[in-house]
Amino acid sequence: MIFLTAIREYLPNEVIIHLGNKPTDKENPGRIQVNEETFILPPLDIYHSCKPNAFIDWNSMDMKAFGVIPKGATVTYHYGTSEDDYRIGAFDCTCGHHDCIGHFQGCKYLTRAQRKKIKHLLSPFLLQKYYG
């Protein structure tokens, strides 16, 4: 696997990579869920973090920087912002952040409090599903 790393310094809200729209199926753990039935395969694998340095701009389908990301840093996003049921790729998070979710298997398995912390980053699909 080749994980996304910063090829240069990125400033806040700067595009790191365009995620594209290459379709894949829901059984691919490298996927990003766009809606109930649509899953895409980004150009590179992207690590999860409970305190990510990047986020998905759902309008443009770009991965953008939260703050300054130094050259060479691993780019991360919170999988809970895109994945509703991720049992296919469930894992124990080891990010070490004080709000670490621990075992991750999808947004639907997060507590209300955990989901509320990432509400502003949820995909339109997840936002509609959980907040109507």
- pLDDT tens-place string over residues 32-70: 999 999 999 999 999 999 999 999 999 999 999 999 999
pLDDT in tens, 86-125: 999 999 999 899 999 999 999 999 999 999 999 999 999 9
How far is the C-alpha of 13 from the C-alpha of 112, rounded, in Å?
27
pLDDT beyond 80 at 1:
no
- Give the CATH fold of the 15-131 domain: Beta-clip-like (2.170.270)
Q: Which residues pair with 69 in a beta bridge?
A: 10
pTM: 0.95
